[in-house]
């Protein structure tokens, strides 16, 4: 059976998926997303644990928002963020399985 080239629609979907993965591909942004799995947090709460200024944290959150990973809501002077679709982090157990398999292979090579 002959393979067909992907349609524009299929390629647009692949590109959209890649954008979400790119947004989560930075350690700080992935950590932030994982923190939001427990519920919404304001920038000030995230800033307590990240050694960066508010503008850097806000830029990271903006990348996550543009990718559709988080939503925000302004309340007074604070902006609260939450995962737009909480299941986004379910694939992390698969990522961890890949890491464990890789480590196991490396250990077996050394044995």
Q: What is the pLDDT of residue 50?
A: 87
Q: What is the pLDDT of residue 34?
A: 94
- Residue-level length of the chain: 111
Find residue 81's DSSP bridge partners. 41, 72
Q: What is the pLDDT of residue 89?
A: 86
Helical (H) or strand (E) element with 41: strand 41-42
Name the residue ranges covered by the structural domains of the chain.
8-85
Give the CATH architecture of domain 8-85.
Answer: Orthogonal Bundle (1.10)
Query: What global pTM score does this model have?
Result: 0.84
Q: Could you give the maximum distance between any two Cα atoms of the chain, in Å?
A: 60
- Spans in the chain with pLDDT lower than 50: none
């Amino acid at each position: 059976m002959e393979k067909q080239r992907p349609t524009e629609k299929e390629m647009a979907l692949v590109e959209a998926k890649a954008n979400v993965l790119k947004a989560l591909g930075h350690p700080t942004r992935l950590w932030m997303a994982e923190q939001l799995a427990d519920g919404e947090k304001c920038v000030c709460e995230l800033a307590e644990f990240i050694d960066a200024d508010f503008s850097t944290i806000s830029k990271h959150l903006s990348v996550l928002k543009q990718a559709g990973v988080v939503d925000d809501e302004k309340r007074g002077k604070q902006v609260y963020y939450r995962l737009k679709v909480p299941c986004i982090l379910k694939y992390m157990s698969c990522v961890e399985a890949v890491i464990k398999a890789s480590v196991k292979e490396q250990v077996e090579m050394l044995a």
